[in-house]
Amino acid sequence: MVDQAFIEQQNQEKHVQHQRRLAYCFSEIAHAEAIIEQLMAFQIAIPSWALGAGGTRFGRFSIGGEPSTLNQKIADIGLIHALCQSANAISLHIPWDIPQDVAATKQLLAQYGLSIDSVNSNTFQDQANQPFSYKFGSLCSHQAHVRQQAIQHNTDCIEYGKALGAKIHTVWLADGSNFPGQQHFRHAYQHTANSLSEIYQSMPTDWTMLIEYKPYEPNFYSMVIPDWGTSYSLCQQIGSNAQVLVDLGHHLPNTNIEQIVGRLTHFGRLGGFHFNGSMYGDDDLTTGSTRPFQLFLIFNELVDAMTDSTVTNPPIAWMIDASHNTKDPIEDLLQSVQNILVTYAKALLVDRAALTAAQLNNDVVSAEELLRDAFATDTRALVSEAMRRAGGCLDPIAAFRAVAGRQRLIDARGKLSVATGL
Ligand code: AFD
Ligand code: MN
Ligand code: MN
């Protein structure tokens, strides 16, 4: 849909304004050049399930032109990546994204400069022709045949991932209970630990297993993996390549997520991140839409860990997990990518030596002001410049609109095409 000539023409239209903004950044920020390079290196995986309009239990409002096949999802993410040059990987969800022709899928990925970073299992729904139901749990089930079916599904996911070159298997479990007394807490935990261990054994040794937690929903009395501590304890039991995945929306209101990030990186167990925006819970809104300062404080912890040579945490897999029923999903994802990069850049501005000195002197005001200074700096031109240098657009959303992106997808796929996903 977009070629280099179109992108250059788009960038030309924004050139004068961009140069003015960029000059401001260079005048304010001593290491602006280094930050641009760090931004160019920061790549975020896009979830295959976020390309259609998300539904709620009250309804779903189709956006039109939604990708209904894996190839179409790859094409949409290819378009996102062409526009922003910061989204070169895809998180797949099985069974929604089972490749029909692995060689052809790989070729398509290469054509768009994309790779598959992770496969995500789905035991939160029953599939047609599935012998046993997950209504009362999957990996946690007290019924061995249910657990075995769920384990097999996860090992199948790993096989699909291997074929496509993925290196991460992500597990999010809906398992839990709705009523007091329904489930035996200790047994449910132990079954889950044993099931995950079995899945881990079938994973290649250079893969990572990411274990996601969530406090409530779809179960409302208890979730088997409700918090980072439970994920962490499971990882400790399972093996060194098992890591915690932090999804920003999977916390109760007012949880100090930046402190959780600090804890997990200290333990060397923060393996993955699901970016999204959250007002109340698992809202899956645009990243940075409601609590930009919180996102900044989280990035501040991440950058602190990444720049501290005493921290042994492995490289973190950056992923978006968002999907809602209001915006055009492609525009939404482009907003999220830009908000993530803008915030990352702000965290890179923090004067860490000065912050450490303020902390050691118990100079609370200076410590806080150092963070506020960085947060208040407008880093948008640095992000635009990083995207432009990598071959993308200064303003990806404007470019998507200029090319009439959604209308062309509707023309090609129809008004009623529906994406599989959440
Ligand atoms: C659901 C969960 C979780 C997970 C996603 C994909 O809440 O965020 O990452 O499904 O399995 O949205
Ligand atoms: Mn998630
Ligand atoms: Mn979620």
What is the secondary structure of 158-206 as a DSSP string? HHHHHHHT--EEEEE---EESSTTSS-HHHHHHHHHHHHHHHHHTS-TT
**Ligand 1 probe mutation, 122, 125, 172, 276, most atoms within 8 A of CB:** 172
pLDDT at 108 over 90: yes
Cβ(97) to ligand 1 under 6 A? no
- How far is Cα 204 from Cα 342, in angstroms, rounded to an integer? 35
Is 175 near ligand 1, meaning CB less than 6 Å away?
no
CA of 306 to the centre of ligand 3 (A): 25
- Residues with Cβ < 8 Å from 172, sequence gap 6 or more? 120, 121, 124, 212, 214, 245, 247
What is the per-residue pLDDT for 56? 87
pLDDT of residue 308: 96
In whole angstroms, give the CA distance from residue 358 to residue 366.
6
The reply to whether ligand 1 has any atom less than 6 angstroms from the CB of 251 is no
Q: Which ligand is nearest to the CA of 122?
A: 1
Nearest CA to ligand 1 atom 2: 172
Q: Is the CB of 422 under 6 A from ligand 1?
A: yes
Tell me what the mean pLDDT of segment 71-78 comes to. 98
More confident residue, 55 or 371: 371
Task: Indicate the pTM of the whole model.
Answer: 0.98
CB of 247 shorter than 6 A to ligand 1: yes
Q: Which residue from 321, 317, 322, 383 is spatially nearest to 348, judged by alpha carbons?
A: 383
Q: What is the rounded average pLDDT of the residues 307-311?
A: 96
Q: Tell me, what's the pLDDT at 393?
A: 98
Distance 50 CA to ligand 3 centre (A): 11
Nearest bound ligand to CA 275? 2
- Residue 399 CA to residue 403 CA, distance in Å, equals 6
Q: Sort residue 202 into left (φ over 0), alpha (ψ -120 to 50) or beta.
A: alpha
Q: Parallel, antiparallel, or unpaired for β 176-177 and 222-223? A: antiparallel
pLDDT of the residue at 420: 74
Residues with CB under 5 A from ligand 3 (ion): 282
Cα 53 to averaged position of ligand 2 atoms, centre (Å): 17
